[in-house]
A and B are shown apart, each in its own frame.
Chain A
Amino acid sequence: MERQSLGRTVEILLVEDNPGDVRLTVEALKDGKVSNNMNVVKDGFEAMDFLLRRHQYKEAPRPDLILLDLNLPKKDGREVLTEIKESPDLRRIPVVILTTSKDEADILKSYDLHANCYITKPVDFDLFMKAVQSIENFWFSIVKLPS
């Protein structure tokens, strides 16, 4: 806990439509080194409502990290990423693309839109757990974020 750079419970926004993946990510972060609060939304519209504190998300906390899937219903991850990085209020929040796609075009597009990193979900369960835990470790224990 002493390595934690923010010194408080961190807020994570997970934008993911597959409940199976949501649960796996929650499981992976449950035993994480950093005390975290996971907020989950299921599509791009909900993600923007959460970030802009609209509708049912008026009391939503400002996330310290966004885990964003690319293929989402209604408004997809690329659009959400564009809107986040175009907004002066939101663009400093690190966005981690967490997707099944290994497609070079998706990778290039995401970095072009200023994604902070791109991770392909490992198919293997243990590797998936490790990947999510290292995201948490990297962004909250190693990286210096704006306070």
Chain B
Amino acid sequence: MVLTFYLWDYARSGWMAQSVQKRFPEIVLGTGIIFSLLVFWDIYSLVTARSRAVGLAEKMTEDLRLEIVERKHAEAELARSNEELERFAYVASHDLQEPLRMISSYTQLIEKRYRERLDAEAGEFMGYVTDGAARMKQLINDLLSYARVGTRGREFQPTPCEAVVKEAVRNLEITLKDAHAAVTYDPLPEVLADSLQLTQLFQNLIGNAVKFHGNEPPCVHISAVKNSHEWTLTVRDNGIGIDPKYAEKIFVIFQRLHTRNEYPGTGIGLAICKKIIERHGGRIWLESGEGRGATFYFTLPVIKG
């Protein structure tokens, strides 16, 4: 608009040719219309842009809302299927005990009553049956304890980690003494946890550190670092270590890296650790190399307020 008046002023100053001066009102009007249209277009596009932006924002909000609904649905589904799986594991392991009790009872009865009448080969075969039944019993018990992490867990309470570590050490007293093992720890935080499960976690990690010891007497050190919203606890040992390519596999239930003759056990300990930590909203991983000891890390949320 300002430009239109300026042109008007400019034209009247007599600089322009006569012919142009004659048609001046039309030129001014034309220019004015063009400018006005431009201005209107600007305003229009501003208005529509705003409404388009609002529309887009609304659509995005709606998308987000749908995504949240979907995610909540998926989470509920996952929780349900986890629950079902736990229930299944519990029922399966419970019902499996019944026939197993028959197998082990009657093999024991045969061994008691007929020991003298069995020849060497029959005795050997009986040995395998007894051993198989004993292992199956162990697997079923382990499966039950694994299922119980989810089904028998207790409410989270403020729990001092040092007391928990002390308790785990007390439970492992004989094992630690026999292995001449030393367990040390830095000041440890208070966390929100199921203290029984946290004790089991430390017990499994310390127990493993002692079980997979190297040539030196086992040394286990526990420490903690606080990040913005979580504690990272570490359990470091000087044992035989683990090839990093197995770093994921060792947390899977019944996965073992050694034969039963080398190291006893079913391969349940770390799977239970992982399940316990996940129930507490944390992560667990390890850093290691063969012959370099192992360091297990796990996170627990910081108590708020």
A: which residues have CB within 8 A of B?
A: 18, 20-21, 24, 27, 100-101, 121, 123-126, 128
Contacts and interface: CB of A to CB of B under 8 A. Distances in A.
A78 B106 CA distance: 28
Contact of B98 (A24, A100, A124): A100
A123 B100 contact: yes
Contacts of A101: 94
B108 interface: yes
Contacts of B109: 24, 27, 125
B106 A123 contact: no
A79 B236 CA distance: 56
Nearest to A103: B94
A121 B98 CA distance: 10
A143 B100 CA distance: 34
B108 A126 contact: yes
Given A21-B102, A123-B97, 15 more contacts: A18-B102, A20-B106, A24-B105, A27-B109, A100-B97, A100-B98, A100-B101, A101-B94, A121-B101, A123-B100, A123-B101, A123-B104, A124-B104, A125-B108, A126-B108
A128 B105 contact: yes
A20 B102 CA distance: 6
A21 B98 CA distance: 10
A15 B108 CA distance: 24
B211 interface: no
26 contacts: A18-B98, A18-B102, A20-B102, A20-B105, A20-B106, A21-B102, A24-B105, A27-B109, A100-B94, A100-B97, A100-B98, A100-B101, A101-B94, A121-B101, A123-B97, A123-B100, A123-B101, A123-B104, A123-B137, A124-B104, A125-B104, A125-B105, A125-B109, A126-B108, A128-B101, A128-B105
Nearest to B106: A20
